[in-house]
Amino acid sequence: SSTACRNDDGVIEVGGVSVVEIADRIGTPAYVIDEVDFRERLAAFRDAFAGMKVYYAGKSFLCGAVVDWVADEGMYLDVCSHEELQLALAAGFDAARIGLHGNNKSEAELELAVTAGVGRVVVDSVTEIERLDRIAQEHRRTVPVLVRVTAGVEAHTHEYISTAHEDQKFGLAIGSGAALDGLLRCEQAAGIDLRGIHSHIGSQIFDASGFEVSGKRTLKLAKQVARLIGRELPEFDLGGGFGIAYTTMDSPMTPEALAEHLREIVEHECRALELTLPELSIEPGRAISGPAGMAVYRVGTVKPVALGDGIYRNYISVDGGMSDNIRPALYGADYSGTVGNRASTSEPALGRVVGRHCESGDILVRDEFFPSDITPGDLVVIPGSGAYSRAMASNYNHATRPPVVGVRDGQITTLVRRESIDDLFALDPVVSARRATTP
């Protein structure tokens, strides 16, 4: 986390707690969230984007405590699955402050959205528009809706997290006329209250030029719609995707700079098109949860592998891996890492932090210099691990998923407990039955 630092003993501390204490009390691997930092990041977006609605994107990391923090900071919540919606509602979040996303929302999911009264549904296809309209009418409700469009923009990021080019599954394309068609259908639908347009161009974006192009095209569409339906759409959501620093190579924009930039883009276009400024909203996930979290692993083995010319790389195996952070394997994502339990004066040596899974792509930190005396029992800390890590964790190799703890004022609080082998056995009727009958 951005607030982690080394104490006088050379041990990394966050929220007033040392990683040694966390490892001793909670075990490893563990995800640690600096609660104050997380909430300050929420508040920073809220304040920088004052006058706009900020939806925290729960997909990056969500649990009951996070739902509470979002509520306490007076913010909105973006959920993108039936399960995230159920979690938010079970935790008591105000449905009116929830936005629901997804390209294949189920009947049950839409029904829950309608009956709970979520603040808005972002629709993604004609099939869904028809389905939602029918469900809303069955319940005699009118559901506030945004239509997700794709503006044909190349966001300069990994293909799998880039979403505004047209040949992918999300949204209705502006270029082909599908977006206009979807918007007009919503306007006609008795169960739907068409509020506006939604455009999310991708994730881990550092450069506002993508927003400029998508903003232009989207507002031009809004103007076209206004002419056809005889009223202006009151809302426009620019999506999320604001990049964070995983290594020193990344330089993210501050929420203030972002807000100024996005406001400027929209104001400029609206002036040019003679449109009233719509109410703007954004959906940051990673920029809030990412830097507030770090991963703590324990080193199990250190294996020097000769690379030729007398050069070697230490393969540092830790007790987690791709089952708790798939991002390096899936996106080639880079992380930095450091030894957290002590300062070392030994020479730095090239290292690679790898997991315990049965694949060579099971990498957590691809290239990093670690002290050459790194040894089994040391703790490796990986900052910037709060987003899309625990949230995307799996049970590959029957790994139990790590816990998430919050730290604050020297206190450790469990936010999500560690999964146990009993949790996994309980899913398996054969194993469960045998365990029940074996003394």
Q: Which residues are 198's β-sheet partners?
A: 148, 237
Residue 267 tokens, joined: 């104001």
Burial 262-282 (b: 16+ CB within 10 A, else e): bbebbeebbeeeebeebebbb
Per CB under 6 A, the segment of 20-28, 44-52, 277-285, 356-364 that binds ligand LLP is 277-285
Q: How far is the CB of 400 from ligand LLP (least distance, A)?
A: 21
String of contacts with ligand LLP for each residue 382-401, x by CB under 6 A:
-----xx-------------
**DSSP 8-state symbol, 202:** B
d(CA 52, CA 77): 14
Burial environment of residue 159 by CB neighbours within 10 A (0 to 12, 13 to 18, 19 or more)? exposed
Among this protein's residues, is 358 annotated catalytic?
Answer: yes
Nearer to ligand LLP by Cβ, of 161 and 339: the residue is: 161
Nearer to ligand LLP by Cβ, of 205 and 266: the residue is: 205
Q: Under rule CB under 6 A, which residues in 314-343 are in contact with ligand LLP?
A: 327, 331
How many of the other CB atoms lie within 10 Å of CB of 361? 14
Q: How far is the CB of 79 from ligand LLP (least distance, A)?
A: 10
Q: How far is the CB of 241 from ligand LLP (least distance, A)?
A: 4
Q: Residues with Cβ < 8 Å from 92, sequence gap 6 or more?
A: 67, 71
Nearer to ligand LLP by Cβ, of 123 and 339: the residue is: 123
Check binding of 241 to ligand LLP (CB under 6 A).
yes
Check binding of 217 to ligand LLP (CB under 6 A).
no
How many of the other CB atoms lie within 10 Å of CB of 310? 6
Q: How far is the CB of 387 from ligand LLP (least distance, A)?
A: 6
Q: Which residue, judged by CB position, is nearest to ligand LLP in the bound state?
A: 285
Which member of 5, 63, 186, 358 is catalytic?
Answer: 358
String of contacts with ligand LLP for each residue 182-201, x by CB under 6 A:
------------------x-
Among positive and negative, which fits the CA dihedral 117, 237, 220, 125? Answer: negative
Burial environment of residue 434 by CB neighbours within 10 A (0 to 12, 13 to 18, 19 or more)? exposed
Q: How far is the CB of 139 from ligand LLP (least distance, A)?
A: 25
Residue 289 tokens, joined: 């949860």
Residue 297 tokens, joined: 């692993």
Nearer to ligand LLP by Cβ, of 15 and 99: the residue is: 99
Residues binding ligand LLP: what is the number (CB under 6 A)? 22
Which residues are catalytic, by number? Answer: 358
**Residues engaged in binding ligand LLP (CB under 6 A):** 57, 59-60, 78, 101, 161, 200, 203-204, 239-242, 283-287, 327, 331, 387-388
